[in-house]
Amino acid sequence: MRIRAFSVLVVLVGLVALLSASSATSAVYGNFSGSTVTFTDVQDQNGLFGAPTVSGDSLDFSPNAFEADCSLSIDCPPTPHTVDDTLTLGIDADPGSFIDDVVLSEAGDTTLQSFVGALAASVVTATIFVDIFEIDNVSVNNINANYSMTFSNGGNYNSGVDGYGTFIWNGGITIDIDQIIADAGLTGRATLIEINLDNTLTAFAAAGATSRIEKKDIDGLAITVVPEPGTALLMSLGLAGLASVRRERLQA
């Protein structure tokens, strides 16, 4: 198992962030061994994702305080209440394996209320940055890409369009690591990558309304790696298959 140190990428979002320095506490969770990969240097800029658990090649987070609430923010209205956090982790393929795809999924809910018909709205966004540091166990530089997660309802909830009440939202994306390598004009398979996920929740309510949006404590975020067996393993499996066919023919 190889443990590498990664720098934290701080992502600045173009929304008004009202997260106070006193409430933002970074968290370092460390390393987690999966079935065919190791998640390394897992850390959380503001500590809102919560400590992860590992299952197979999936890292699951259950946040319990990751929310934007306009009714609790003294400046909302007129200023939206925005909460942002960045999660950083490395993914190191075990010997004999490669990193094929990375699947990210998350979920939460939002509640829009008003007794006078005033506007309430909420927004969820997620931006993912991927850096590839090794191809076929050889170090490489400047192989990267960025993506935006796709959300139900476009990640936007507006009482003027969607009405009032509580809505369940979810988002997801599958990142093809092989495609990033191909787009860079290279060949080979990734063996060491870094993921930076920046999540932003925004709540807005006019006078007489309330708005809240939260990442749920269950299924708040799941990062699943789809590994690919190494060439040597595939070759051994192929040879075993050929040997089996040959034995069957000799016995016939």
Q: What was the pLDDT predicted at 221?
A: 82
How far is 250 from 252, CA to CA, in rounded Å?
6
Contact 217, 116 (CB under 8 A): no
Burial class (CB in 10 A: 0-12, 13-18, 19+), 122: buried
Q: What is the pLDDT of residue 228?
A: 64
- pLDDT tens-digit profile of 34-90? 999 999 999 999 999 999 999 999 999 999 899 999 998 888 999 999 999 999 999
Structure tokens at 77: 């209205």
pTM over 0.95: no
- The pLDDT of residue 246: 43
Give me the residue spans of the domains in the chain: 27-251
- pLDDT score of 251: 52
Determine which of 140-149, 188-197, 231-240, 243-252 has the lowest per-residue pLDDT on average.
231-240
Question: Once rounded to an integer, what is the mean pLDDT over residues 15-30?
Answer: 60
